[in-house]
Amino acid sequence: MRTRGRFAVGLCAFTLAVPVRAGAEPIPTSTPPETSIDEAPDVAAPSVDKTSPEERAAFLFRVGNLAYREQRWLEAETAYRAAWALRRSHDVAGNLGEVELRLGRPREAATLLTYSLVHAPSSTPPDKLERTRQFLDSARKQVGVLYVGVNVPGARVMLDGRTLTDDELAGPLFVEPGDRMLEAQAAGHHPAHRIVEASAGSTQQVRLNLPRAAPQQASVRPTRVEPSKVLVVAGGILAGSALAGGVAFTVAANEAADDPTRDEEQALYTNLSIAGYAIAAGSAVATVTYVFWHRTHPREGVVTLAPLVPWKGAPGGLILRGAF
């Protein structure tokens, strides 16, 4: 990061031993060219109202450098992170990455140091680049490295429930050692899941393939078809007429029973009355059943009543078509 004024502030390094986690790689102690304290710019806080975000980031960067010189790692981290929030540059990423490694956070350190190397301008001193590489090598030995690919462009990829950014998917993904859950989702595809066992210092290629989902067929809701008024009325008329006929023939049969000479008429009227009652009962039951079925069993389509024309000896009549 360039400061307004006399020079570009560099990271002051130390050869003092610093504590590291048990089993962790030693932190590099190679020393880049130092910027002397006498050359350090004024660290008086600039006016927030009169400075740009770049100027405030430069001030915070200098504050972080001073804290680094005194090995106040948490204060250095706070200053560098505030500068990083204002302006993402390779020098802030490099210094913050070194501090994160000293604080025992190799995953964050590896991510930041990688960013620093990728975005370092061609004018960066070689010894500074070499120092960053040494810190990055130390961090990578303590974490797992994943290169994640997915067969559907634009798919949402998550690591342990956290959605990964495009930048994270584009480069190496640094993870803590242990079992890591990767998941990918995309519209029109079934999700893909994979558990990856990451070990310190390992590098793995992980491919997530999302199967295409079969197109869902639109469900067709059955259409309620109201019973045909014509059929209901016709059934009622037929039942009523047959009942009236049955009653009339019953009366006629009773009258004929009083005359011994009308035995044949009595038998005929009795049979006709029985037929009338049967037709009346059958028509009534059929009509009620027809109405009840349509009320409780909606179906697609309609019910039609059509004449059946006699043809080549086949009998004629009526035919009832529909869904039941």
The predicted structure's pLDDT at residue 228 = 72
**Token pair recorded at residue 155:** 């798919």
pTM: 0.56
How far is the C-alpha of 143 from the C-alpha of 295, rounded, in Å? 69
Q: Collect all residues with Cβ–Cβ distance below 8 Å to 191 and sequence separation of at least 6.
A: 183, 184, 185, 210
Q: What is the pLDDT along the chain (324 residues), one digit of tens a residue?
A: 444 433 333 433 333 333 444 445 555 543 333 333 333 455 555 655 557 899 999 999 999 999 999 999 999 999 999 999 999 999 999 999 999 999 999 999 999 999 999 999 999 999 999 999 999 999 999 999 999 999 999 999 999 999 999 888 888 999 999 999 999 999 999 999 999 999 999 999 999 999 998 876 555 555 566 777 777 677 678 777 877 877 887 877 787 777 777 777 777 778 887 877 788 787 777 777 766 666 666 554 455 555 555 554 555 555 555 554
Q: Is the four-CA dihedral 154, 158, 159, 164 of positive or negative sign?
A: positive
Question: Which own/partner contact pairs does 187-192 have at CB distance under 8 Å and 24+ positions apart?
Answer: 188/212, 188/213, 189/152, 189/155, 189/213, 192/150
Q: Which residue has the tokens 């490295």?
A: 145
The predicted structure's pLDDT at residue 216 = 63
The predicted structure's pLDDT at residue 247 = 81
Q: Which residue has the tokens 């604080």?
A: 103
How far is the C-alpha of 280 from the C-alpha of 237, rounded, in Å? 9
Q: Which residue has the tokens 């059943």?
A: 289
The predicted structure's pLDDT at residue 38 = 34
Whether 25 and 136 have beta carbons less than 8 Å apart is answered as no
